[in-house]
Structure 1
Amino acid sequence: MKNILIIHDISGFGKCSTSVALPILSSMELATTVLPTSLLSTHTAPIFEDFTFLDLKDEMPKITNHWRKLGLSFDAIYIGYLGSIEQIQFLRAELPKLLKADGKIYLDPVMADDGDFYYGFDLEYAKAMRQLCEIADVIMPNQTEASFLYNLPYQEGLWNTEQLATFKAAVAENSQASIVLTGAGFDGDGKTGAYYFNRRSGEEGIVQSEFVGAKYHGTGDIFGSILVGSLENGASLLQATTKAVDILPKIIKHSLTDPNMERNGLQFEDFLGDLSVYARELKGKK
């Protein structure tokens, strides 16, 4: 069984980050190891005030040093929320030491949305994150993050052929990463989704599904985890993107039956069985 290293924060309450990635990847028949980047009492959405935050940048090298003494290495690394430029610089140097020879790095450059940086992030952080993108095999920015990473005009919704070509060229300047651009399928007429580009094959396109009303905290983590789980089980980039795009509106619709959904989080747990079945189908198991 493949072992996937999850590098993300741990939010004690509020379904996001590690508390989403770990069960999804486990349900998809992948072993998981966790390198936490920070510890929070809750996630950082406006619904939660006065949350606690502990930066684990000083602990991370101690953890990885111990792993290397044990001879541990990983089939893939899935990176999400990082709290500082120092963490980016550390991982830029450390990840090649932890990854198996044929392993993959999947990077969700969490830092911004809706045209603005999240609290605590800025253009210097984006510049540092771009250096981490250089060693990734697949990057999964949303449209705001793509704009900040590669100095592109910010635009939500469908990008035209020229805009996508400019984005691909910017990524290709210093990286061989394939791309999944989340939100790029939003057409303002009831559809949303993602753009994908397979660097190796040249295949690209936009995958769309139903847009369900609004943006909800944790959707990006669910999307990224399903994408990584699918790819590590043998799906193509098109198949993995399609699976993630298709299942998210179903999870959101199901979750909206909870009147306290914004506080309690998306009920992705009810879909873990479906993801397990999908993983077994990809592996050719019954």
Structure 2
Amino acid sequence: MKKVAVINDLSGFGKCSLSVALPIISVLSVQCVPLATAVFTSQTGFEDYSYTDLTDMIEEYIKNWKLNNASFDGIYSGYITDYKQAILVKRFIEEFRKEDTFLLIDPVLGDNGETYKMFTNDLLEIHKELTRQANIITPNLTEACLLADIPVEDILKCDKDRDSLIELASSAATILSKNAITNQEVIITGISVREGDSYYVYNLVLSEGEINLSKTPMIDKSFSGTGDIFASIITALKLNGLMTFKAVEIAQDFIAEAINDTPADADTRDGVYFEKELANLASVLRDNIYY
């Protein structure tokens, strides 16, 4: 069985980060080895939460895992709390990545044309270093623009216009791919566009110089953890040999079904009811559709 180290935080309430990565990656027949960067009582979308930062533990992970001769087929890094933690994540990757180790970086920096409160320029610069090394990166459009040095204000100027946003995302993806030191694939997620009187969410995939788009109808709610679900599915399916665009379609459809399973009156901070769809996700491998 293939094995992936997943670097992320662990929240009690709010289905995100490691609490979604563990079941999703496991059901896709990959061993998920968690490296917890922090433990939260609830994800930060809730007003009241407490947390313990585990940055100093990362050095212990590195030391003890090396003593235990740990090795990984893949490494997936998500939310990083600050610059110090990012430096240690970079060191972890340097210590455990081999020539054939798959690396996915999901850079958590901002959304909807704005940066998150933990954002700093130093954190952005270290994310640029991390993403340049990755086989696949999964930024949203705001994060892609930040990493590509494109003003995030350009997103708002597009005013949900499909062609303008896709052109902006294509430019960012091309810059990021060219800056990479690997033959990198770029997936820009959650591009919200208007087409006539309807609204859709696009995912843009740049692979081998070619751009492909997938889309799904947009809902008027934003659920916690869907980005983590998406990146977890991509990581596991790539380790199972799936082509990237097919993996994106499967991840997109899985999230859409999980949203459909979520009651209309559910608290969006709790995340989506993805559990009901895990059996269907496992059937992706049973049916061998990934070959």
Question: What TM-score do the two structures reach when normalised by structure 2?
Answer: 0.89
1:216 is displaced (CA, Å) by 1.4
1:197 is displaced (CA, Å) by 0.9
The partner residue of 1:97 within 92, 95, 107 is 95
Aligned to 1:191: 200
1:279 is displaced (CA, Å) by 2.3
Q: 2:37–2:53: 8 Å Cα contact kept in structure 1?
A: yes
Aligned to 1:82: 80
**Residue 16 in 1 paired to residue 1 in 2?**
no
Q: 2:204–2:211: 8 Å Cα contact kept in structure 1?
A: yes
Aligned to 1:280: 286
The partner residue of 2:148 within 135, 150, 154 is 150
Matches within 5 A, 1:137-216: 137-154=135-152, 155=155, 157=160, 158=162, 159-161=165-167, 164-176=170-182, 177-184=184-191, 186-188=193-195, 189-198=198-207, 201-216=208-223
Distance in 1 of aligned mates of 2:58 and 2:85? 8
Distance in 2 of aligned mates of 1:67 and 1:56? 16
Note closer, same or farther for the CA distance 1:272–1:183 as it changes in structure 2 (3 Å cut): same
Aligned to 2:236: 229
Structure 2: tracts of 5 or more residues without a match:
none
Distance in 1 of aligned mates of 2:133 and 2:174? 16
> For structure 1, which segment, 175-184 or 75-84, has the greater mean C-alpha deviation from structure 2 after superposition?
175-184
Runs (4+) off by over 3 Å: 160-163, 185-188, 282-285
1:119 is displaced (CA, Å) by 2.0
Aligned to 2:277: 271
Give the aligned length. Answer: 280
Distance in 2 of aligned mates of 1:114 and 1:160? 15
Aligned to 2:27: 27
Residues 120-171 of structure 1: per-residue CA shift (max 9 Å, x gap): 2223311221111121110000011112222113216543447513541244
> For structure 1, which segment, 61-70 or 273-282, has the greater mean C-alpha deviation from structure 2 after superposition?
273-282
Note closer, same or farther for the CA distance 1:82–1:169 as it changes in structure 2 (3 Å cut): same
SS at match of 2:228: helix
Note closer, same or farther for the CA distance 1:153–1:282 as it changes in structure 2 (3 Å cut): farther
> For structure 1, which segment, 111-120 or 93-102, has the greater mean C-alpha deviation from structure 2 after superposition?
93-102
Q: 2:141–2:169: 8 Å Cα contact kept in structure 1?
A: no
Question: What TM-score do the two structures reach when normalised by structure 1?
Answer: 0.91
Q: Which amino acid aligns with 1:245?
A: Q
> For structure 1, which segment, 157-166 or 232-241, has the greater mean C-alpha deviation from structure 2 after superposition?
157-166
**Residue 113 in 1 paired to residue 122 in 2?**
no
1:54 is displaced (CA, Å) by 1.5
Q: Which amino acid aligns with 1:220?
A: G
1:14 is displaced (CA, Å) by 1.1
Q: Which amino acid aligns with 1:194?
A: N
Q: 1:75–1:102: 8 Å Cα contact kept in structure 2?
A: yes
Q: Which amino acid aligns with 1:38?
A: A
Residues 95-115 of structure 1: per-residue CA shift (max 9 Å, x gap): 132134311110100121112
> For structure 1, which segment, 210-219 or 25-34, has the greater mean C-alpha deviation from structure 2 after superposition?
210-219
Q: Which amino acid aligns with 1:73?
A: S
